[in-house]
Structure 1
Amino acid sequence: MNFAATALLSLAMSTDAFAAAVGKGAALHRPHLREALRTGLIFGVIEGLTPVIGWLLGQLAAPYVSAWDHWIAFVLLGGLGIMMVREGLSTDEEEAEKPGSHSFWLLAVTGFATSIDAMVVGAGLAIMDADIVVTAIAIGFSTFVMVTIGVMLGRVLGLIAGKRAEIVGGIILIGIGAFILYEHLGATA
């Protein structure tokens, strides 16, 4: 795989993580760059590891993962989105009630849900005999940058929209999950 193909693949793999990060940033109480970098690092590492896992599993697991990846992503992202919408609709509208950071596990689950497709890509790369190390590093780095920017963009949106930003962030996560499901079910129809 050449440089341009690797760069485009990396960008494509990080776009859903970027959208989720915007929602995560909007749900926080004025996240600082440190929190954005932490979130980017968690998402980037997970997004970089999943194609390696897919590559290692190769052709053996690809049919099983690709048969269920869209449902797993839909359930995880939909569930997280519903939690965010419910929090946004709660009666307590004080800005001080918004957390300063998300828990590691919440970020890890979100990162995993947005990176399941990268596992399938990794399995495909095994078939192509592509250099998985370079590709995984590129995907992880691209995701790190995109998520960091997404959290900081979410900060601006959160300041503008207040508590409604958490509702919008939840709707974005639900939308990403629904789009992944639609995209995969539409491809099989």
Structure 2
Amino acid sequence: MGIIEILLIGLGLSMDAAAVSMTDGMCGRELSRGKTFLIPASFGIFQALMPLLGYYAGSLFSEFLDAYAGIVVLLILGVIGGKMIYDGLRKEEERVCRRLTGLTIFLQAVATSIDAFAVGVGFSAMRVQILPTVLLIGAITFVCSLTAVFVGKRFGNWLGDKAQILGGVILILIGIKSLF
């Protein structure tokens, strides 16, 4: 497998992480510098870790993953997105943009990287040099997610209070997409 194919796979795998990062930026306009970098770092690490695990697990878990990955992603992102929509619809004086905790970031990173496990299984079958491949995928995801956080902050300022509702809808749509 050549570098171009790996770059394209990395970009493809990073798109869900970038979309979630954008919603985090939209709803977390006052994100600290640390969390602004924790978000893409978490997504990058998990997008690299999951294909590595898939590579070494081979086909051991692939049937289970194929059967339930979409449901798990939908549940995680659906709950987070539903809470965002609920919080966004609350009365103005009760509305507080969702606190972006380390646990929330962790769950988002796991949910958006589950499909990368299956890619790792494929890498195992193709005997890809796994270490440089996963490092490149992680770096691509980090850059895409970091860019998306900043774009989300910009649009979040523009959208104001509606950003949280839009972010919740986006997360739920990503979860639904994972079923297909």
TM bucket normalised to smaller? over 0.9
Residues 25-80 of structure 1 show CA distances to partners (whole Å, capped at 9, x for unaligned) of: 11113335543222111111111101111111111111111111111111111111
Residue 161 of structure 2: aligned partner = 163
SS at match of 2:61: helix
Deviates more, 1:47-56 or 1:109-118: 47-56
Aligned pair in 2 of structure 1 residues 123, 30: CA closer, same or farther (>3 Å)? same
Residue 151 of structure 2: aligned partner = 153
Q: How far apart are residue 163 of structure 1 and its match?
A: 1.4
Residue 187 of structure 1: aligned partner = none
Aligned residues: 180
Q: Does the aligned pair in 2 maintain the 1:30–1:158 contact within 8 Å? A: no
Residue 98 of structure 1: aligned partner = 97
Structure 2: unaligned runs, 5 residues or longer = none
Residue 13 of structure 2: aligned partner = 13
Aligned pair in 2 of structure 1 residues 19, 93: CA closer, same or farther (>3 Å)? farther
Give structure 1 regions of 4+ aligned residues with deviation exceeding 4 angstroms.
none
Residue 116 of structure 2: aligned partner = 118
Residue 131 of structure 2: aligned partner = 133
Q: Does 1:107 align with 2:131?
A: no
Q: How far apart are residue 133 of structure 1 and its match?
A: 0.9
Residue 84 of structure 1: aligned partner = 84
SS at match of 1:59: coil
Q: How far apart are residue 111 of structure 1 and its match?
A: 0.8
Q: Does the aligned pair in 2 maintain the 1:25–1:153 contact within 8 Å? A: yes
Aligned pair in 2 of structure 1 residues 4, 154: CA closer, same or farther (>3 Å)? same
TM-score, normalisation: structure 2: 0.93
Residues 68-110 of structure 1 show CA distances to partners (whole Å, capped at 9, x for unaligned) of: 1111111111111101111111113588x436x6211100100
Matched AA of 1:172: I
Alignment of structure 1 residues 37-48 onto 2, 5 Å: 37-48=37-48
Q: Does the aligned pair in 2 maintain the 1:73–1:177 contact within 8 Å? A: yes
Q: Percent identity?
A: 31
